[in-house]
Chains A and B, each alone.
Chain A
Amino acid sequence: MEFIAAYLPSAMMNDQTISQLPLALPEIVMLCMASIVLIVDLFLNDKTRGGTYILSQFTLLALVVITVMSFTQQKSIAFHGTFVRDGMGDLLKIFVYIVTFTVFLYSKSYLKARDMFKGEYYVLGLFAVLGMMVMISAQSFLTIYLGLELLSLCMYALVALQRDSIIASESAMKYFVLGAIASGMLLYGMSMIYGATGSLELATINAEVMKNTDNIVLIFGLVFVLVGVAFKLGAVPFHMWLPDVYQGSPTAVAIFIGSAPKIAAFAMTMRLLVDGLHGLHVQWQDMLIIMAVASLAIGNIVAIAQTNIKRMLAYSTISHVGFIMLGIMTAEKGGYTASMFYTIVYTLMALGAFGMIMYMSRMGFESDKLDDFRGLNQRSPWFAFIMLIFMFSMAGVPPFVGFWAKLSILKAVVAVDMTWLAVTAVVFSIIGAFYYLRIIKLMYFDTPQETSAIEGASDLRVMLSLNGIAILGLGLYPELIMGLVISVM
Chain B
Amino acid sequence: MLSNYLPVLIFLIVGGGIGAVMIIAGFVLAPHKPDSEKTSPYECGFEAFEDSRMKFDVRYYLVAILFILFDLEIAFLFPWAVVLDKIGYFGFWAMVIFLGILVVGFIYEWKKGALEWE
Residues of A with Cβ closer than 8 Å to B?
1, 4-5, 8-9, 11, 14, 17-18, 31, 35, 38-39, 42-43
Taking a contact as CB atoms closer than 8 A, the residue among A5, A17, A31, A42 that contacts B111 in the complex is: A42
Instruction: List the 4 closest A-B pairs by CB distance, nearest first.
Output: A14-B90, A42-B111, A35-B104, A8-B86
Q: Are B86 and A5 in contact (CB under 8 A)?
A: yes
Q: Are A11 and B111 in contact (CB under 8 A)?
A: no
What residue of chain A has the Cβ atom nearest to residue B88's Cβ? A11
Question: Which residues from chain A contact B88 at a C-beta distance below 8 Å?
Answer: 11, 14
Q: Are B90 and A39 in contact (CB under 8 A)?
A: no
Asked if B64 is at the interface of the complex by the 8 Å CB criterion, the answer is no
Question: Which residues from chain A contact B83 at a C-beta distance below 8 Å?
Answer: 4-5, 8
Asked if B87 is at the interface of the complex by the 8 Å CB criterion, the answer is yes
What residue of chain A has the Cβ atom nearest to residue B105's Cβ? A38
What is the bound-complex CA distance between A375 and B87, given in angstroms? Answer: 69
Closest chain B CB from A418 CB (angstroms): 48
Q: Are B108 and A42 in contact (CB under 8 A)?
A: yes
Q: Are B79 and A18 in contact (CB under 8 A)?
A: no
What residue of chain B has the Cβ atom nearest to residue A11's Cβ? B88
Asked if B101 is at the interface of the complex by the 8 Å CB criterion, the answer is yes
What is the bound-complex CA distance between A35 and B90, given in angstroms? Answer: 22
Interchain pairs with CB closer than 8 A, number:
29
Other A-B contacts than A4-B79, A4-B82, 10 sampled, CB-CB below 8 A, are A4-B83, A5-B86, A11-B88, A11-B90, A14-B88, A18-B90, A31-B101, A39-B108, A42-B112, A43-B111
Closest chain A CB from B96 CB (angstroms): 14
Q: Please, how many residues of chain B have a CB less than 8 angstroms from a CB on the other chain?
A: 13
- A-facing residues in B79-93 (Cβ within 8 Å): 79, 82-83, 86-88, 90
Asked if B107 is at the interface of the complex by the 8 Å CB criterion, the answer is yes
Taking a contact as CB atoms closer than 8 A, the residue among A1, A4, A5, A35 that contacts B101 in the complex is: A35
Taking a contact as CB atoms closer than 8 A, the residue among B79, B82, B87, B104 that contacts A39 in the complex is: B104
What residue of chain A has the Cβ atom nearest to residue B111's Cβ? A42
Closest chain B CB from A322 CB (angstroms): 39
Question: Which residues from chain A contact B101 at a C-beta distance below 8 Å?
Answer: 31, 35
Q: Are B90 and A8 in contact (CB under 8 A)?
A: no
What is the bound-complex CA distance between A156 and B114, given in angstroms? Answer: 21
Closest chain B CB from A292 CB (angstroms): 40
Question: Which residues from chain B contact A9 at a C-beta distance below 8 Å?
Answer: 87
Q: Please list 15 pairs of residues, one from A and one from B, whose beta carbons are closer than 8 Å in the complex, sorted by A's number.
A: A1-B82, A4-B83, A5-B83, A5-B86, A11-B88, A14-B88, A17-B90, A18-B90, A35-B101, A35-B104, A38-B104, A39-B107, A39-B108, A42-B107, A42-B111
Closest chain A CB from B57 CB (angstroms): 17
Closest chain B CB from A354 CB (angstroms): 29
What is the bound-complex CA distance between A330 and B86, given in angstroms? Answer: 50
Closest chain B CB from A302 CB (angstroms): 34
Q: Are A38 and B108 in contact (CB under 8 A)?
A: yes
What residue of chain B has the Cβ atom nearest to residue A34's Cβ? B104
Closest chain A CB from B97 CB (angstroms): 9
Closest chain B CB from A391 CB (angstroms): 42
Closest chain A CB from B21 CB (angstroms): 31
Closest chain A CB from B113 CB (angstroms): 11
What residue of chain A has the Cβ atom nearest to residue B108's Cβ? A38
Question: Which residues from chain B contact A42 at a C-beta distance below 8 Å?
Answer: 107-108, 111-112
What is the bound-complex CA distance between A17 and B83, given in angstroms? Answer: 19
What is the bound-complex CA distance between A11 and B90, given in angstroms? Answer: 8
Interface string of B50-94 (1 = CB under 8 A from A): 000000000000000000000000000001001100111010000
What residue of chain A has the Cβ atom nearest to residue B93's Cβ? A18
- A-facing residues in B8-32 (Cβ within 8 Å): none
What is the bound-complex CA distance between A365 and B108, given in angstroms? Answer: 33
Closest chain B CB from A172 CB (angstroms): 16
What residue of chain B has the Cβ atom nearest to residue A4's Cβ? B83
What is the bound-complex CA distance between A35 and B98, given in angstroms? Answer: 13
What is the bound-complex CA distance between A14 and B90, given in angstroms? Answer: 7
Closest chain B CB from A196 CB (angstroms): 20
Q: Are A8 and B107 in contact (CB under 8 A)?
A: no
Closest chain B CB from A123 CB (angstroms): 9
What residue of chain A has the Cβ atom nearest to residue B83's Cβ? A4
Question: Which residues from chain A contact B82 at a C-beta distance below 8 Å?
Answer: 1, 4
What residue of chain A has the Cβ atom nearest to residue B112's Cβ? A42
What is the bound-complex CA distance between A5 and B83, given in angstroms? Answer: 8
What is the bound-complex CA distance between A5 and B85, given in angstroms? Answer: 11
What residue of chain B has the Cβ atom nearest to residue A43's Cβ? B111
Closest chain A CB from B17 CB (angstroms): 27
Question: Which residues from chain B contact A4 at a C-beta distance below 8 Å?
Answer: 79, 82-83
Interface string of B106-118 (1 = CB under 8 A from A): 0110011000000
Closest chain A CB from B59 CB (angstroms): 15
Closest chain A CB from B83 CB (angstroms): 6
Question: Which residues from chain A contact B104 at a C-beta distance below 8 Å?
Answer: 35, 38-39
What is the bound-complex CA distance between A42 and B109, given in angstroms? Answer: 10
What is the bound-complex CA distance between A308 and B96, given in angstroms? Answer: 50
What is the bound-complex CA distance between A8 and B111, given in angstroms? Answer: 38
Question: Which residues from chain B contact A1 at a C-beta distance below 8 Å?
Answer: 82
What residue of chain A has the Cβ atom nearest to residue B82's Cβ? A4
What is the bound-complex CA distance between A414 and B20, given in angstroms? Answer: 70
Closest chain A CB from B6 CB (angstroms): 17
Question: Which residues from chain B contact A38 at a C-beta distance below 8 Å?
Answer: 104, 108
Question: Which residues from chain B contact A35 at a C-beta distance below 8 Å?
Answer: 101, 104
Question: Which residues from chain A contact B87 at a C-beta distance below 8 Å?
Answer: 8-9
Question: Which residues from chain A contact B108 at a C-beta distance below 8 Å?
Answer: 38-39, 42
Question: Which residues from chain B contact A18 at a C-beta distance below 8 Å?
Answer: 90
What is the bound-complex CA distance between A42 and B104, given in angstroms? Answer: 11
